[in-house]
Structure 1
Amino acid sequence: MCGIAGLSVLSIQAPADLVPIAARMGAAIAHRGPDAAGTWQHPALGVALAHQRLAILDLSPAGHQPMASASGRYVIAFNGEIYNHQQLRRVLDAAGLAPTWRGHADTETLLAAIEAWGLEGALQRCAGMWALALVDQHQRVLHLARDRFGEKPLYWGLSGSGTSQVLLFCSELASLRAYPGFNNAIDRAALAQLLRFGQVPAPLSIYAGIAKLRAGHWVSIPLPLTPGASLPRSQPWWQLSSVIEAGSTAAFQSDAEALDALEQSLSLAVAEQAIADVPLGAFLSGGIDSSLIAALLQRQSSQPLRTFTIGFEEAGFNEAPYARAVAEHLGTSHSETLLTSADARALIPQLPQLYCEPFADSSQLPTHLVCRAARQAGLTVALSGDGGDELFGGYNRYFWGPRIWNRLAWLPGPLRRGLGRAITALPPPAWDALGQPLPIGQLGHKAHKLAARLRYVRSSDDLYRSLVSEWRDPAQLLQGEPPDLEPTAIDQPLPACLSSDPIARMMAWDSLSYLPDDILVKVDRAAMAVGLETRAPFLDHRVAQVAWRLPMAMKIRGNTSKWALRQILYKHVPKELIERPKAGFAMPIGQWLRGPLRAWASELLHPDRLSQEGYLRPEPITRLWQQHLSGRYDHTTKLWSVLMWQAWFEQWG
């Protein structure tokens, strides 16, 4: 796991030494790779690469980057892991396509695969996660590519104008800000989408002219850059829609056959991802996903697995006891870290530094703290359960979203609005008290969230889009003329085979948007800030292929979520240790905003400050802030997106 950065200058610019600039861009993300730093340039092509190394495989200098292929044709800066690289080496050896191996780094394997099969052919054969910059010195092309689900980040775009224009690319925006003279404006459309989703969805970034390369995409840029030429559009080398379509025509014959295929694919993914030349462990929340990964990992290990969890001092949010019980049953070496409001206050000022662009999923706080605890305990690699919800039907909205719509769709708009007002008349704590017997965590927050959307939705798809959005019309929050908002991933059509299944549609959209733009961003930045590599076995593409072959009844059966995963897990962990309401990795940020974080938030949300900064209209924000402080409304997620923008802008604006 590493960080990459680089630049390409115009052909009319005189060949210059680009290494100092590339090194400066790399140093800005040294936290991603604290073990070594390297640069490479080709002055005639006007391109330079920088690499910050977190050594995981082959700790020797043979794993140093940027790395050249055996023939010298290709030079790569690679961030990620190729989990099946040993198998690829055997295939290359058997076919007589292997070079004389210099070491056992997966990057060397990838370069040999590229020389043998081309970049796209190599990527199709790889199981792993990555963002890469590859210079083909023969074809005079720079290739940028990203993994299937978007586990590793990659920004790219132009800065400057005229003869000073330059192409920049990097793992984190800190590298762009380290480029001399970088002054790209704030993208107001990206800001509006931040307020809508709590994150900036790909391909946007918070800076105009800079894009995120989409998950499963690559782009090839001729070198050197031609003055005035527009950049080529990225193209998909892998598409989830193809996996979904293939799965719809390859159903399993029985539950037993499906469960066997799923367990085999998961066990293989865990085994491959457990390969490392450094200390490795796992996150454990006590939920289905992390418990299953920990169980499979412990089954394959002769030593106690090291597991880590986070707890909260506030009642109703602490799942640490459940994780402890699972750890005791599995026999892992378990550690807990308790999060207090004081910890949150200490960490919040660091968030603009940890997250290179504004990001507003409040579970970023415990995620970083558990990563920090794992790193301080000596781990360099940690496996997680990310991806289990999206692939196997774990989110609460998959249950009650379609059901509620089916019961309320016939109601006229005025009646739905009246129902919404009735729901919000009861404050969230009262709903939580009423819902204690129900298997729904944070019922009050969810009830208020639903009520706020009842008047606007017109279909189950519309309800989903509303549920994953916070501010309904975020462009109206911006000062000045509202920006044009291009369609996002959740506005795009899905394969026809999903047309009649609203739950499968939600799961597909979550995999295309919420997973890469929120969950994986959160984990990558939280972990890489302390030089920790995280791995997600559920996101192995072979596991995903099995998941999309499963009928919905094997994901959600009756009132049971992730039914298939549970059947495998119960082979290793007693059912009674797992069955409880799903709470997620939530935290009591709403309570803290009314208490120990109130002064901090009030300063950032002050109407005069908002007016003077020139981006957000103070009136609607002030109104929601006062409602939230009253305790009768829970506007946590709306306010957190504004606060994270304000905190980020205070440091980087």
Structure 2
Amino acid sequence: MCSILGYFNTALSYSEVVKQNSIMVHRGPDDTIVKEYKFLNKNLYFGHNRLSIQDLENHANQPMENERFIIVFNGEIYNHFEIRTQLQFSKFRTTSDTETILWAFTEFGIEKAIEQFIGMFAIGLFDKIAQKLYLIRDRVGIKPLYYTMQKGEFSFASELKGFGEHLKKTTSNKALIQFMTLGYIPNDNSYYDGINKLPPAHYAIFDGVNIDIKKYWDLPEEKINISYNEAVKETEQLIRSSIKYRLLADVEVGSFLSGGIDSSLVSSIMQQESSQKLKTFSIGFEDKFYDESVYAKEIAKYIGSEHYEYKFGIQDVFKLLEDFDKFYDEPFGDASSLPMLLLSDKTKDYVTVALSGDGGDELFLGYDRYFTTESYYKKLKQIPQSLRTILSVIGKYSGQDKLKKISYPLKQLSEQNLYALLYSSTKPWELNSLFDKEFSRESFGKYEVSLQDILEYELDGDSLIDSLSRLDFHRYLPDDILTKVDRASMSYSLEARVPLLDHRIVEFAYSLPIKLKLKHGPKSILKEILYKEVPKELIERPKRGFSVPLKHWFRKELKDIVYDKIQSLDERFNKQYLNKIFQDHQNGKNFEYVLWNIMRIK
């Protein structure tokens, strides 16, 4: 795992580019280098910080080049030794996957090479002969990659901190609205005007003047005809293959273990496939209501792993708050990033690579909000519009928080409005209370903004549940979950691998009919596989997720901090509205996610 960086036609000096590269050294402390090249007779800098995982020797450092290409690469290609057998070139100097993919691009071309890759990747690739610069991001968006073109200067980086301040002069009002709604910034947007994320499953071609963005992969649209038992068997084979691949490393590999379905499945199969005792890691809470570490400990004992845990409390929050925004570069509202940061810190003391169970909920339908949205929509659709309008008014003025929240979707009934209730921090119809009306219009071209507008995504599945799952795959997964894991782990030079998001598993999961996935309830296919390895009674309990007791902290230890933050906000915000939210929270209502997002505003 590493960081990559590039500058073309920049006024920055070599030493200034070196400084920008060094800001990301936490992603790769084992080697850091910047090299200068020529691109259309103008300067081109490639920077790299290396976390050595495969081939730990200096000859595997980057940038790496052959007669045609120069490459900087962040990620892992787990099947690269198999790819070597398909190449005509055989005089490899290293056992590094970087050298393998360098020659794969040379012999196969861009898209045909990517087709061969099993792994996670963000790549900068300069074609010396064609005089073109390529940026490439993995299919799911596991590895981050940002780029910008401003006044003839083209730059790219693994994190926003890699860009000079001259490229981050203004923040995006649209991104601010998106963040306050979702708790993350979706799609190809960033917090800064003019800086974009390269979307997952895309590559960019820069010819020195223009940028062309191309999509090279997508989820399957067609469903396959297969039995449930066949689906379970194929899924298990793919997961086992994926985990075997992700054990490839010249350093020790461990596993995050929460005690839930996904991490327990990954950890139990890892222990079977490992030649040594697996190290597993979990985070708990001093507040026993939120602490589920006891379940992880029970799973670890059963599978025979060497288990480590850390208990997380309010003092840890205070220690992290000062540096939190440095880790995430732009506003990021997923509060579970706090324990994730601590877990990564403690894990790095023992291993350099850790496998995570992320992705199971999106692929195999583990989120309750999918089913709640579908159920409520079917029921409410049976009520005449006139009666729903009356109920909406009653709910709005009832004084009951839950009834008030549902009043708008009752009147303006749609699947996306119901989903917004469960999915968003600030509801789209509340934005004109949080901000000035003109602020929303200037950013989105309309006064009334929908969840679809915020997400920049249209539901496109063959059923509501399939559509919501695909929405989460394209937005929530890369822009929240994987962002959280990448920044938290890389802040401590720890590589996180996500075996359930192997693209072969993704393709198979989305080709399965929804009824088949849900034959025995949510995530029944994954449960079926897990219960062969771990007793059912150790797993089955109410799903809580990686919850953090923010609502209590905002009434006690963090009360003054969030109040002062509200008072410091500029004229874009309606402080009267936010002060009311703050007071309502003190009086027992729950606005923890809105308040946490407010604390993240820069």
Q: Is the 8 A contact 2:201 2:215 kept in 1?
A: yes
> 1:6 — aligned with what?
6
Q: Which residue of 2 aligns with 1:328?
A: 301
- Provide the identity percentage: 35
Q: Is structure 2 residue 72 aligned with structure 1 residue 77?
A: yes
- Alignment partners' CA distance in 2, 1:20 and 1:384: 37
How many Å apart are 1:360 and its aligned residue? 0.5
Paired residue for 2:52, among 43, 55, 71? 55
Partner of 2:543: 582
Q: Which amino acid aligns with 1:80?
A: G
Unaligned runs of 5+ in 2: 446-451
2:113 and 2:138 mapped to 1: Cα distance?
A: 12
Deviates more, 1:484-493 or 1:72-81: 484-493
Residues 554, 563 of structure 1: 8 Å contact kept: no
1:488–1:79 distance in 2 versus 1, CA, 3 Å: farther
Letter paired with 2:562: A
Is 1:301 matched with 2:274?
A: yes
Q: Is the 8 A contact 2:74 2:123 kept in 1?
A: yes
Q: 2:457 aligns with which of 492, 508, 512?
A: 492
Change (3 A) 1:367 1:128: same
Counterpart selection for 1:348 from 306, 321, 330: 321
Please tell me whether the aligned partners of residues 489 and 512 of structure 1 are also in contact (alpha carbons under 8 angstroms): no
Report if the CA contact (8 A) 2:206-2:212 is conserved: no
* Shift, 1:413, TM fit: 3.1
Matched residues in 2 for 1:384 and 1:592: separation? 28
Distance in 1, Cα, partners of 2:414 & 2:527: 31
User: Match for 1:251 among 225, 228, 250?
Assistant: 225
Cα distance in 2, alignment partners of residues 169 and 581 from structure 1: 43
**Structure 2 counterpart of 1:149, from 140, 163, 175:** 140
User: Is the Cα–Cα contact under 8 Å of residues 80 and 130 in structure 1 kept in the other structure?
Assistant: yes
Structure-2 change in CA distance of 1:100 and 1:420 (3 Å): farther
Amino acid aligned to 1:153: P
Residue deviations 1:10-40 (CA, integer Å, cap 9, x gap):
7xxxxx8853233122101110111101222
Deviations 1:569-616 (A, max 9, x none): 00000000000000011111111111111111111112xx22xx3432
SS at match of 2:471: helix
Retained in 1: the 8 A contact 2:84–2:90? Answer: no
**Do residues 238 (structure 1) and 217 (structure 2) align?**
yes
Q: State the one-letter code of the partner of 1:66.
A: P
Structure 1 Cα separation of the partners of residues 487 and 131 of structure 2: 32
Write the deviation string for residues 471-499 of structure 1: whole angstroms up to 9, x where unpaired: 2347533456433238668553454xx33
Q: CA deviation at 1:423?
A: 8.9
| Equivalent residues, number | 587
Give the Cα separation in 1 of the matches to 2:89 and 2:408. 58
CA contact (8 A) 2:364 2:517 kept: yes
Match of 2:85 among 90, 101, 125: 90
Kindly state the Cα deviation for residue 149 of structure 1 after the two structures are TM-superposed. Answer: 0.7
Match of 2:159 in 1: 172
Provide Cα deviations, 1:193-237, integer angstroms capped at 9, x if missing partner.
1111101112111110111111111110013x4xxxxx4242211
**Residue from 590, 593, 596 that aligns with 1:637:** 593
SS of residue paired to 1:218: strand
What is aligned with 1:408?
A: 380
On the 8 A contact 1:453/1:466 being kept in 2, the answer is no
In 2, are the aligned partners of 1:99 and 1:112 still within 8 Å (CA)?
no
Partners of 1:614 and 1:462 in 2: CA distance:
28
Which of residues 416, 419, 435 is equivalent to 1:464?
419
Which residues in structure 2 correspond to 1:126-525 (within 5 Å)? 126-159=117-150, 161=151, 165-176=152-163, 179=164, 181-223=166-208, 225=209, 231-240=210-219, 243=220, 245-246=221-222, 248=223, 250-252=224-226, 254-376=227-349, 378-411=350-383, 412-417=387-392, 420=395, 425=400, 451=406, 454-455=409-410, 457-473=412-428, 476=432, 477-478=434-435, 481-482=439-440, 483-485=442-444, 490-495=455-460, 498-499=461-462, 501-525=463-487
* Amino acid in the other structure paired with 2:444: L
Label 1:269 to 1:7 Cα distance change in 2 as closer, same or farther (>3 A).
Answer: same
Q: How far did 1:8 drift?
A: 0.8
Structure 1 length as normaliser, TM-score?
Answer: 0.86
Name the CA distance, whole Å, in 2 between partners of 1:600 and 1:504.
41
Asked whether the equivalents of residues 251 and 549 of structure 1 are also in contact (C-alpha less than 8 Å), the reply is no
Say if 2:168 and 2:192, in contact at 8 Å, map to a contact too: no
Partner amino acid for 1:48?
Y
Aligned mate of 1:627, from 577, 580, 584? 584
Within 2, Cα distance between the matches of 1:604 and 1:281? 39
Q: Residues of 2 paired with 1:358 and 1:472: CA distance?
A: 18
1:443 equivalent in structure 2:
none
Cα distance between partner residues in 2 of 1:45 and 1:213? 24
Cα distance in 1 between the residues matched to 2:363 and 2:51: 29
One of 484, 494, 497 as aligned partner of 1:535: 497
Instruction: Determine helix, strand or coil for the equivalent of 1:258.
Output: helix
Against the structure 1 CA distance between its residues 90 and 450, is the aligned structure 2 distance closer, same or farther, given a 3 Å change threshold? farther
| One-letter amino acid of the structure 2 residue matched with residue 390 of structure 1 | E
8 Å contact from structure 1 (residues 201, 488) kept in 2:
no
- Aligned position for 1:442: none
C-alpha separation in 2, matches of 1:213 and 1:304:
39
SS of residue in 1 equivalent to 2:578: helix
Residues 293-338 of structure 1: per-residue CA shift (max 9 Å, x gap):
0011011113221000111122321110111111100000001110
Alpha-carbon shift at residue 270 of structure 1 (Å): 0.2
Q: Gapped runs of 5+ residues in structure 1?
A: 11-15, 226-230, 427-446
Q: Contact 2:258 / 2:282 at 8 angstroms: preserved in 1?
A: yes
Give the 3-state SS of the residue equivalent to 2:290 in structure 1. coil
Please state how far the C-alpha of 1:456 moved relative to its aligned partner.
5.6
TM-score normalised over the length of structure 2? 0.93
SS of residue matched to 1:304: coil
Distance 1:618 1:133, change over 3 A: same
Q: Is structure 2 residue 572 aligned with structure 1 residue 615?
A: yes
Q: 2:470, 2:277 → 1: CA distance?
A: 36
Which AA in structure 1 matches 2:2?
C
Shift of 1:420: 4.5
CA contact (8 A) 2:409 2:417 kept: no
Q: What is the aligned partner in structure 2 of residue 430 from structure 1?
A: none
Between the aligned partners of 1:452 and 1:640, the Cα distance in structure 2 is 24
Farther off after superposition, 618-627 or 547-556: 547-556
SS at match of 1:101: coil
Whole-angstrom CA distance in 1 between matches of 2:168 and 2:370: 43
Report the AA paired with residue 413 of structure 1: R
Which residue identity does 2:329 align to in structure 1? C
Change (3 A) 1:491 1:208: closer
Task: Check conservation: 1:131, 1:153, Cα contact below 8 A.
Answer: yes
Counterpart of 1:228 in structure 2 is: none
Post-superposition offset of 1:257: 1.2
Describe the shift of the 1:119–1:603 C-alpha distance in structure 2 as closer, same or farther (beyond 3 A): same
Q: Post-superposition shift, 1:175?
A: 1.1
Conserved 8 A contact 1:255-1:554: yes
